[in-house]
Chains A and B, each alone.
Chain A
Amino acid sequence: EVHLLESGGGLVQPGGSLRLSCAASGFTFSNYAVIWVRQAPGKGLEWVSGISNTGGSTSYADSVKGRFTISRDSSKNTLYLQMSSLRAEDTAVYYCAKLREGYFSSTIDYWGQGTLVTVSS
């Protein structure tokens, strides 16, 4: 059974940094692209960043480009999101999600339960 477990969320001050992790199990992690999607309180879904199966290709939403860095460690079956220069508008539940293929042009087939990031002084 596919399982994605996010961690690392919490309260951080504006301008601060945080690193999210997503531990994957139940599938061969190195075969699939994985992404981060966020959802601000009471709002819709926003695609944040993605990384291909090999890690050789990454992509970012304009809203986070230059501030967030996505990476993966296939030896640990873990996805990361390093977030810096955080703003109030980054406050959201951050979901880790698996794509159906190793590349970006494929649908999301599994989601984690999410971790809440709150940016506030």
Chain B
Amino acid sequence: DIVMTQSPDSLAVSLGERATINCKSSQSVLYGFNNKNYLAWYQQKPGQPPKLLIYWASARESGVPDRFSGSGSGTDFTLTISSLQADDVAVYYCQQYYTTPHAFGQGTKVAIK
């Protein structure tokens, strides 16, 4: 099974500053046939289900603010919030959907400094 590891487990960033979350998979999630990375990012606020932010590692879901961006390929990926807003306080998860079970990372908690 593929194991997903996020870093850091938590971070505190000042309003308006950049937040960066890393995600590493134990094996490549890049499918050579279509050159797509089977990697998604979700945001979860307390008491709510997760919400899709990014899919195919870098495609922003409709309605997601453009301060959220995803990058990376193969086994190493990054979620960047370019200018942190108060509404972005949440736990963020990466997930691979290359092969079942579609493992999630352990989550990264983002707070305001």
Contacts and interface: CB of A to CB of B under 8 A. Distances in A.
Bound pair: A and B? yes
Given A45-B93, A61-B101, A62-B1, A105 B38 contact: yes
A13 interface: no
B104 to A, nearest CB: 4
Interface residues of B, number: 26
Contacts of A46: 104
Interface residues of A, number: 22
A105 B49 contact: no
A111 B40 contact: no
A62 B56 CA distance: 26
Contacts of B38: 105
Contacts of B106: 44
B107 A111 contact: no
A112 interface: yes
A31 B38 CA distance: 20
A106 interface: yes
